[in-house]
Amino acid sequence: MDGRTSGELDVWKSASDFDRRELQLAAERVGLLFDPKQILEPDRPYVQLVEPGVSQLGAFQPVFIERMGRLQLFRPPIENLVAAKLVRASPKDLGDIQFLISRHRPSLDRVREIILHFPEPARGRAVENLVYLDVLKA
């Protein structure tokens, strides 16, 4: 996607229906790393399987993006993505948040609400990082 600051496609494992080997072969066929755990190549995009724990998204209804053959793409609401990125708030995450705010104009009040339902310690880190929302929305 033009304007994105990160080169990965996250697959929310707990809510996705896929054949792991089939997805791996498809990713590798088009030159993507598949579910790297320790080593990333800086300029090579990848598919990452993500489970709840380190990453927090909060409760959400998936938003349908499109269907390509047997592949159906869904994403969390933009507010959930922004909330999730505020947990870590690395420079890359802040770039993603700025892009998401400028492109989608999410409800920042909803982002704050979502964060309040995260488990600790994610909630505490995200609350501390809420200050970035005021800076990034300008």
**Domain spans in the chain, listed from the N-terminal domain onward:** 8-75, 78-137
- Please state, in angstroms and rounded to a whole number, the distance separating the CA atoms of residues 46 and 136: 27
Tens-digit pLDDT profile for residues 5-63: 566 788 888 778 888 999 999 999 988 889 988 777 777 888 888 877 667 888 889 89
pTM (two decimals): 0.79
- Please state, in angstroms and rounded to a whole number, the distance separating the CA atoms of residues 24 and 34: 6
- pLDDT above 80 for 83: yes
- Please state, in angstroms and rounded to a whole number, the distance separating the CA atoms of residues 32 and 9: 10
The pLDDT of residue 5 is 54
Nearest to 129, CA basis, from 92, 96, 77, 83: 83
Band (pLDDT 50/70/90 cuts) for residue 1 is low
- Please state, in angstroms and rounded to a whole number, the distance separating the CA atoms of residues 8 and 49: 10
The more confidently predicted of residues 98 and 69 is 98
**Tokens 């498809």 map to which residue?**
26
The pLDDT of residue 3 is 56
Average pLDDT, the chain: 86
Nearest to 77, CA basis, from 48, 106, 53: 106
Q: What are phi and psi of 108, to 5 degrees?
A: -70, -25
The pLDDT of residue 16 is 82
Band (pLDDT 50/70/90 cuts) for residue 105 is very high
